[in-house]
Structure 1
Amino acid sequence: MANPWAGEVRLVLDGVACDCKLTLGALAELEAELKGETVLDLIERFESGKFSTRDVLALIVAGLRGGGWSGRAADLLSAEIEGGLLEATRVAAQLLARAFSTGET
Structure 2
Amino acid sequence: MGARANRHRGEIEGIFDGERRVLCLTLGALAELETAFAVDSLAGLAERFSIGRLKADDLIRIIGAGLRGGGNLLTDEDVAGMAVADGLAGFARIAAALLEATFGAGGEADAQNPPPPHPA
Greater Rg by CA: 2
For 1:67, the aligned partner's letter is G
Select which of 9, 12, 18 maps to 2:12.
9
Query: Which TM-score applies when normalising by structure 1?
Result: 0.81
- Where structure 1 has 5 or more consecutive residues not aligned to the other structure, the ranges are none
- Pairing 1:1-105 to 2, within 5 Å after superposition: 1-34=4-37, 36-38=38-40, 39-101=42-104, 102=110, 104=112
The superposition leaves residues 66-105 of structure 1 with CA deviations (integer Å, 9 ceiling, x where unpaired) of 000111011123211233211211111221221124375x
The 2-side partners of 1:52 and 1:42 are apart by 15
Which range moved further: 2-11 or 42-51?
A: 42-51
Dislocated runs of 4+, deviation >6 Å: none
CA contact (8 A) 1:46 1:93 kept: no
* Equivalent position amino acid for 1:72 in 2: T
Higher relative contact order (CA 8 A, sep 6+): 1
Between the aligned partners of 2:44 and 2:61, the Cα distance in structure 1 is 13
CA distance in 2, matches of 1:23, 1:49: 21
User: Partner letter of residue 10 of structure 1?
Assistant: E
TM normalised by structure 2 equals 0.72
Q: Do 1:8 and 1:19's aligned partners in 2 also have CA atoms closer than 8 Å?
A: yes
State the Cα RMSD in Å.
2.0
The verdict on how the C-alpha distance between 1:67 and 1:61 changes in structure 2, with shifts beyond 3 A counting, is: same
Give, as a single letter, the amino acid of the residue that structure 1 aligns with 2:6. Answer: N
Gap regions ≥5 residues in structure 2? 105-109, 113-120
Change (3 A) 1:2 1:103: farther
